[in-house]
């Protein structure tokens, strides 16, 4: 069952859950042995071998029952002072596609299973039951609090704005609202509504890369950075999505006008070979979903130049994404693996 993008629907008919930054997965548990646990990705691929720690956890806790769970595989970031652990898609990528992870990799990036629905229990199909009844059956399995297992919490009694603030404070992707009386129906459904969190940041343009295809000769993407105390730029990513053709032409003229031979960035950037460097004089605004573990924008899109802003206005080395909004837009990358 897949969520439709939209604003958080109001009213008591909806239950609000957190939106996790992980990989969507169905878990089939048939016996108290990891070999009897089958994990299937949204694309229909068996991924049990990639997540033996998840299989062990499920087998140990619910292996005496025959169940089918819907949920998300996540890997948490390392907690630090003032920054509790949060779902890290960067760390999850260390595990994705690895058929037989080594014990060292499993220890370095341990995976957990976040359950948010129960589709079958002891050979009884539950898809026709309302969400509330399926949820109650899920909670009675005793998964929550077990090592490597989580039941996605329901944010009871919270209004949309407060729920989104809770999601933001915990480093989550946003909110998924589910109709309390809805059965489980495979496919895209209006009974589940996802509202991802979005942020905006101001950054300095330090270069650009030429477009391809019909955008050949024009701006394909701009390279963004934040000022460093030494006067350079710390690379925070490239942005090309959202640029209209007319903007590409105008931007091309402005960037050519400030082009320079050397890179203004401190250290190499991924687009090093194809980049055309510019003097760090132009400030742009970008929209993005979150910061990666190494301080790069994720799921970013162009919002426009900020002629009213000067690079000196930006704080050295600090993310400027202090404005947040919730908008009904879906993933641009890893959609099939991650979209709930």
pLDDT tens-digit map of 125-168: 999 999 999 999 999 999 988 999 999 999 998 999 899 999 88
Tens digit of pLDDT for each residue in 24-64?
999 999 989 999 999 999 889 999 999 999 999 999 998 78
- DSSP conformation class of 184: P
Contact present, 264 and 279 (Cβ < 8 Å): yes
What are 127's two structure tokens?
A: 């898809």
Q: How far apart are CA 216 and CA 207, in angstroms?
A: 16
Closest CA relative to residue 208, chosen from 263, 285, 245, 267: 263
Nearest residue to 163 (alpha-carbon basis) of 130, 200, 204, 195: 195
Residues with a known catalytic role: 19
Q: Where are the beta strands (DSSP E) in 165-227?
A: 174-179, 188-210, 219-227
**DSSP code of 49?**
G
CATH of 21-151, one of 2.60.40.10, 3.30.470.30, 2.40.160.40, 3.40.50.10490: 3.30.470.30
Domain boundaries, the chain: 21-151, 198-326
Find out whether 301 and 8 touch, Cβ atoms under 8 Å.
Answer: no
Select from 286, 204, 282, 288 the least CA-distant residue to 250.
282
Q: What is the pLDDT of residue 130?
A: 98
**Does the domain at residues 198-326 carry the CATH identifier 3.75.10.20?**
no
Strands 23-29 and 37-41: antiparallel
């Amino acid at each position: 069952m897949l969520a439709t993008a939209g604003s958080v629907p109001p009213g008591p008919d909806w239950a609000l859950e957190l939106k996790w930054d992980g990989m969507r997965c169905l878990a089939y548990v048939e016996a108290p042995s990891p070999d009897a646990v089958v994990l299937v990705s949204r694309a229909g691929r068996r991924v049990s071998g990639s997540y033996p720690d998840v299989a062990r956890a499920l087998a140990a806790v619910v292996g005496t029952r025959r169940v089918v769970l819907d949920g998300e595989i996540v890997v948490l970031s390392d907690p630090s002072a003032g920054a509790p652990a949060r779902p890290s898609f960067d760390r999850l990528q260390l595990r994705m596609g690895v058929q037989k992870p080594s014990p060292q990799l499993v220890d370095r990036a341990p995976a957990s299973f976040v359950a948010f629905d129960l589709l079958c229990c002891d050979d009884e199909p539950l898809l026709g039951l309302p969400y509330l009844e399926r949820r109650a059956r899920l909670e009675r399995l005793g998964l929550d609090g077990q090592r490597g297992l989580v039941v996605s919490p329901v944010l009871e009694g919270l209004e949309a704005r407060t729920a989104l603030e809770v999601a933001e404070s915990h480093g989550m992707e946003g909110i998924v609202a589910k109709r309390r009386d809805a059965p489980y129906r495979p496919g895209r459904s209006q009974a589940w509504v996802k509202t991802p969190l979005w942020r905006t940041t101001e950054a300095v343009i330090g270069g650009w890369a030429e477009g391809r295809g019909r955008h050949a000769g024009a701006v394909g993407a701009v390279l963004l950075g934040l000022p460093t105390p030494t006067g350079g730029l710390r690379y925070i990513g490239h942005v090309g999505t959202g640029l209209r053709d007319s903007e590409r032409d105008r931007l091309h003229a402005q960037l050519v006008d400030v082009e320079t031979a050397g890179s203004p960035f401190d250290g190499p950037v991924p687009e090093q070979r194809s980049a055309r460097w510019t003097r760090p004089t132009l400030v742009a605004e970008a929209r993005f979903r979150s910061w990666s573990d190494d301080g790069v924008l994720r799921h970013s899109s162009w919002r426009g130049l900020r002629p009213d802003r000067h690079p000196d206005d930006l704080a050295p080395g600090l993310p400027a994404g202090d404005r947040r909004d919730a908008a009904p837009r879906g993933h641009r990358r890893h959609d099939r693996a991650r979209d709930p």
